[in-house]
Chains A and B, each alone.
Chain A
Amino acid sequence: MATDTAFSTSSGSKRTERIRLLVQPAVVVIGVAATLLWAFSRDLDDIEKNNINAESLLTDTWDHLKVSFVVIVLVVVIAVPLGVVLTRSWAKIAAPFFLAIATIGQAAPAIGVLVLFFLWSGWEGLWAAALPIALYSLLPVLRNTIVGLQQVDRTLVEAARGVGMSSPTVLFRIELPLAVPLILAGLRTSLVLAVGTATLAAFVNGGGLGLLIDAGYKLNRITILVVGAVLAMGLALLVDWLGAVAERFLRPRGLR
């Protein structure tokens, strides 16, 4: 276990992660099922029926996943190559600069970044939510890619060059595989940030489960609010769990 110096939902201990791997999905299934049973067994009025029905719940969940998915694709496509470039010897000087920008960027509140992008661009919907959220969730993957590549033992790289590998081959067959565990850890953090921030997508007409929370609050219908909040929590815990599973099973076999 190492000390935390940045946001992360990983508990950092193998023992705890094993507990969470088993307990977390069970808690999600039970919690979501209980909430849905409670909501549907209540005497719902028309407004509540409009918001809480199988179709709208699925639409909202699907919208939420869509935003999160686009975000995470953007994060991987931008942050990993950027991290690779920033660890090459010819671009190393720029690394602290980019990290500083990313760190300051993360000091900005997610809701502020989202609202500002919405007001500036005039866009709404999926991309108006996904672009700023991607920018906001970028840092963990970028930082971990850079750190992961930097910590690769130089003697391994030199040995690989010595047996005749070209530098792209060294990158893809030695450096990146060795950095995968850290990149995956960053990816899990980014995933959690993405799914969590996607609840705010509703404010820029991006849909998602935040829509239910907002509707429940504005229409003064606690049932809608609770269903939205519990579904959003369940989704976040489930995605965090998927991240933990990926961390465990996607790392190269030699490092397991």
Chain B
Amino acid sequence: MPDSSGRTHGSAVAVTIAGVAIVSIWEFIGQRWNVLVPEALLHASAVLQCTLIAAVLGVLLGVLVYRSPAGSAIATALTSAILTIPSFALIGLLIPVLGLGVPPTVVALVLYGLLPIVRNTIVGLDGVDPAITDAARGIGMGRAVVLTRVELRLAWPAILAGIRVSTQLLMGIAAIAAYAKGPGLGTEIFSGLVRAGSANATNEALAGTLGVVVLALVVDGIYVIISRLTTSRGIRV
């Protein structure tokens, strides 16, 4: 059967290539450790700082609009429309306005990070039992106190879930921001693309991609711990 032998041959070659790549990727990571680690740290720090800005803005926006159905509808419509925009298009569009490097990266990451947080803040605050807020008002708490000590605490698991989704999203978008000379592991991926055909091109792209996957999984694990530690004892499951 020529067909089946051809296939075996093809897969054998593929395995060898994969084998070589796997061996040398570890060597490559070893050699480039001093470059990859700072890039990974920059990647993580860009994503986490932008998530933080998006979280502050998103929760504020959510708190401002959650009492008005029209306001909530407009806020979620706007932020979900932003999320629909291809990140490469938005980053491209920001280059003529903000130049290269950190500014377009930060603006793009913060904008993309908003929707899940705004949406979950509104949903979370909406889901607070009115009987509880009434009771809080009844024992003499003011509006601001009810919001910070009762409503936001009860909505926190939902808000945190939104922040977590945002972080995961931004990990990937930050890689694309390297196109606009943004910091982080995307640099390796684009460098691999530019040098396609040269010895370490695949290793560069692989190191960058794996780095982002590892970062994303580690940070996601940290969120699980944060959610355990910061959820009010009364609603912990």
Chains A and B are bound partners = yes
Q: Does A110 contact B (CB under 8 A)?
A: yes
Task: Please indicate the chain B residues that have their CB under 8 angstroms from the CB of A225 in the complex.
Answer: 92-93, 95-96
Q: Return the contact of B81 from the options A3, A6, A20 (Cβ within 8 A).
A: A20
Q: Return the contact of A9 from the options B17, B83, B175 (Cβ within 8 A).
A: B83
Check A4/B116 contact, CB under 8 A, given A11-B80, A115-B192, A119-B205.
yes
Check A16/B73 contact, CB under 8 A, given A110-B172, A203-B193, A233-B86.
yes
Q: Return the contact of A119 from the options B76, B89, B126, B192 (Cβ within 8 A).
A: B192
**In the complex, chain A residues 1-35 whose Cβ is within 8 Å of any chain B Cβ:** 1-7, 9-13, 15-16, 19-20, 23-24, 27
Task: Please indicate the chain A residues that have their CB under 8 angstroms from the CB of B74 in the complex.
Answer: 19
The smallest beta-carbon distance between A254 and chain B, in angstroms, is 27
Q: Does B153 contact A (CB under 8 A)?
A: no
The docked-state distance in angstroms from the alpha carbon of A226 to that of B97 is: 11
Binds B, one of A44-52, A70-78, A101-109, A149-157: A101-109
The docked-state distance in angstroms from the alpha carbon of A132 to that of B119 is: 30
The docked-state distance in angstroms from the alpha carbon of A108 to that of B212 is: 6
Q: Does B77 contact A (CB under 8 A)?
A: yes
Q: Does A232 contact B (CB under 8 A)?
A: yes
The smallest beta-carbon distance between B103 and chain A, in angstroms, is 15
List the B residue with the shortest CB-CB distance to A6. B165
The smallest beta-carbon distance between A29 and chain B, in angstroms, is 14
**In the complex, chain A residues 203-218 whose Cβ is within 8 Å of any chain B Cβ:** 203, 209-210, 213, 216-217
List the A residue with the shortest CB-CB distance to B165. A4
Check A12/B123 contact, CB under 8 A, given A111-B186, A111-B189, A115-B205.
yes
Q: Does A120 contact B (CB under 8 A)?
A: yes
Asked if residues B88 and A23 are in contact (CB atoms below 8 Å), the reply is no
Check A120/B202 contact, CB under 8 A, given A192-B84, A236-B85, A237-B85.
yes
Interface of B is mostly: helix
Q: Does A190 contact B (CB under 8 A)?
A: no
Task: Please indicate the chain A residues that have their CB under 8 angstroms from the CB of B83 in the complex.
Answer: 7, 9
List the A residue with the shortest CB-CB distance to B176. A111
Q: Return the contact of B205 from the options A1, A112, A195 (Cβ within 8 A).
A: A112
Asked if residues B213 and A13 are in contact (CB atoms below 8 Å), the reply is no
Taken residue by residue from 89 to 105, chain B's Cβ proximity to chain A (1 for < 8 Å, 0 otherwise) reads as 11011011000000000
The smallest beta-carbon distance between B198 and chain A, in angstroms, is 10
Interface of A is mostly: helix
Check A116/B209 contact, CB under 8 A, given A109-B176, A111-B186.
yes
Task: Please indicate the chain B residues that have their CB under 8 angstroms from the CB of A230 in the complex.
Answer: 89, 93
Asked if residues B123 and A24 are in contact (CB atoms below 8 Å), the reply is no
List the A residue with the shortest CB-CB distance to B87. A196
Task: Please indicate the chain B residues that have their CB under 8 angstroms from the CB of A106 in the complex.
Answer: 168
Asked if residues A109 and B86 are in contact (CB atoms below 8 Å), the reply is no
The docked-state distance in angstroms from the alpha carbon of A192 to that of B89 is: 13
Taken residue by residue from 63 to 80, chain B's Cβ proximity to chain A (1 for < 8 Å, 0 otherwise) reads as 000000100111011011
Asked if residues B84 and A240 are in contact (CB atoms below 8 Å), the reply is yes
Nearest first, the 10 closest Cβ-Cβ pairs linking A and B are: A112-B209, A109-B175, A196-B86, A107-B216, A232-B89, A213-B92, A11-B76, A109-B172, A229-B89, A229-B93
Which B residues are within 8 Å of any A CB, using their own CB?
17, 21, 69, 72-74, 76-77, 79-81, 83-90, 92-93, 95-96, 115-116, 119-120, 122-124, 126, 158, 161-162, 165, 168-169, 171-172, 174-176, 179, 185-186, 189-190, 192-193, 196, 201-202, 205-206, 208-209, 212-213, 216-217, 220
Which A residues are within 8 Å of any B CB, using their own CB?
1-7, 9-13, 15-16, 19-20, 23-24, 27, 104, 106-113, 115-116, 118-120, 192, 195-200, 203, 209-210, 213, 216-217, 222, 225-226, 228-230, 232-233, 236-237, 240
